[in-house]
Amino acid sequence: MAKLKIPNITKQSLAAALGWLISRVAVIYFIVFIFSMVFVDLKTLNMRTEVRHLNQAVPGFLDMINFSMGKNGDKKVNWIPCKKYFELILRYLPDDLIAKQLLGYVDYYSGDEQKSIALLKSSADLKGHLLFWSNYNLGVIYYKKGLWPQAAEYLFKAVSSNSRLTLILMQDSLVYKQILSGLPSYNPEDGINQAKSNAYILLLSCLYHMGQFDKMIEVYNLSMANQELSYKDAFYYYAGLSFYETGQMDKAILLFQKSLTIEKNNPDVYFFIGSIYQKTGQLELAKDFLQASLALHQKNDPRFPYEAKINLRFL
């Protein structure tokens, strides 16, 4: 086979070109590149730069916290700094569940519902273990849209999730540390329990809308087994409602009355007790309860119906 011969002229011109290039300022860029490759730990450099960017970008969380706790009144929240911050975290740590969950929360209130749902879904579990906040928020979003089966699915996941695991993740998370630094007296465990109570209420409400009254009783039993939950009056009310709908009036009235022992201002409880009395022919009693219900309705107590004020949360 004939050997390929490079003409001498080409070699010379190549050498000349190379010589010319080496004698140019451009060579310093090449040196810098080689120097960086050899002497600089680029991984550490990159990591530390990311950390600095993140530290520099920490926004003020006060408005977001107040909003989540319903303390903001009519004040409009500027979501952009928080959104940018969580997005930056995800740029560096794309698998960070906490950042996804928080960005999902922010995205929902800044009008990007689809992105919010996607983020919350992708942060709903850690290696098969259900996490509370994302499932809770998904349940609330679907509930607000009136998609009862989806809402019930996520709310059920929320109430079945491991609160301890959620708590540990929150306590370990640098972002939550930054958020909680402004709330020295806040107990995250209380926050989860309160939101879990809300989740039970919404779940019971979903099942009611879906007509799954037998499941309502099961969920009611589950909620009653958890001593740390608040809003027991609501659980009694919904359980009473399920018995009411299935015609078990004696059980229903018992549960409605239990609800009244805790919360005396829920007009719906009076209404259903009045209805039961009406159905059983005790018209005088029925009249009293229905009038009481009407009077309470006119007060427009914002706490009722229970599910009306429930919003997305992260604390």
Partner 1 sequence: MKALINKFFTNTACREFLILVIPFLLWVFCFRDFFSGHVLLQQDAVSYADNIKYYTDNLSKGVFPLWNPDWFNGAPYHFFLRRIGDVNPLLFLIILLKWVGISGANAYLLFLGAYYFLAGWGFYLITRILLSGRLFAFTAYCLFLFSSWGSEIFYNYIIIIYVPVVWFFYFLLSFCRTPKKVYFLGACFCVGLILTTYIPFFFLTILALFTVLFFLFYGNVFIDLLKRSFTFFLKNKIFTCLCIVFLLVSCVPATVFYKESKSGEFVLPDRHSGADTSLPIAVGLLNVASGDIINHGFFDRVFSDHPHLDMGDIYIPYVFFIVLLAATFGRVNKLIFFLLFNILGLSLISITSASGVHRFLYDHIIFFKLIRNIYYFFWLSILPMAILLSVTAFQSLLKTIDNSSRKTSWLVYITICHVIFIAFLYRQQEVLDGAWIAVFISMIFFLVYCRCEEKTSIPVGFCAVLLAVFIQSVQVYGFLGDRMYQIQQDSLHFSLTHQNPKKEKMGVYYATRWFDILVNYIDPQVLDDYRNHPFIIYDNIVPYVDAPQFLKSFESSVALNTNIAYVSKFESGPEDWKSNPYVSPQAEDDPVLSGKLSVLSHDANTWKIKTHLTRSQFLVINDNYNNDWHAFINGRPARLLRANVSFKGLWVPAGDSQLVLRFSKPWVYAAHIALMVLFAGIFLYLLVLFKKDRTVLHGDA
Cβ closest to partner 1, residue 13 vs residue 265:
13
Would you call 169 helix, strand, or coil by DSSP?
helix
Shortest CB 58 distance to partner 1, Å: 14
Helix (H) or strand (E) holding 130: strand 129-130
Shortest CB 87 distance to partner 1, Å: 15
Neighbours of 125 (CB within 10 A): 16
Q: Judging by beta carbons within 10 Å of its beta carbon (0-12, 13-18, 19+), is residue 251 exposed, middle or buried?
A: middle
Cβ closest to partner 1, residue 87 vs residue 189:
87
Cβ closest to partner 1, residue 45 vs residue 294:
45
Cβ closest to partner 1, residue 15 vs residue 32:
32
Tokens representing 171?
């306590």
Q: Using CA atoms, how far apart are residues 111 and 109, in angstroms rounded to an integer? A: 5
- ∠ CA(138), CA(143), CA(148), 5° rounding? 105
Cβ closest to partner 1, residue 57 vs residue 118:
57
Q: What is the longest distance spanned by two Cα atoms in the chain? A: 118
Shortest CB 49 distance to partner 1, Å: 6
The dihedral region occupied by 67, where left means phi > 0, alpha psi between -120 and 50, and beta the remainder, is alpha
CA–CA distances in Å: residue 1 to residues 4, 8, 210: 9, 21, 84
- ∠ CA(80), CA(45), CA(84), 5° rounding? 5
Shortest CB 288 distance to partner 1, Å: 51
Shortest CB 56 distance to partner 1, Å: 8
| N- to C-terminal Cα separation, the chain | 78
> What is the binding site for partner 1 (CB under 8 A)?
23-29, 31-32, 35, 39-42, 44-45, 48-49, 52-53, 56
Shortest CB 53 distance to partner 1, Å: 8
Cβ closest to partner 1, residue 39 vs residue 281:
39
Shortest CB 268 distance to partner 1, Å: 43
Where b means 16+ CB within 10 Å and e means fewer, 68-90 reads beeeeeeeebebebbbebbebbb
Cβ closest to partner 1, residue 52 vs residue 75:
52
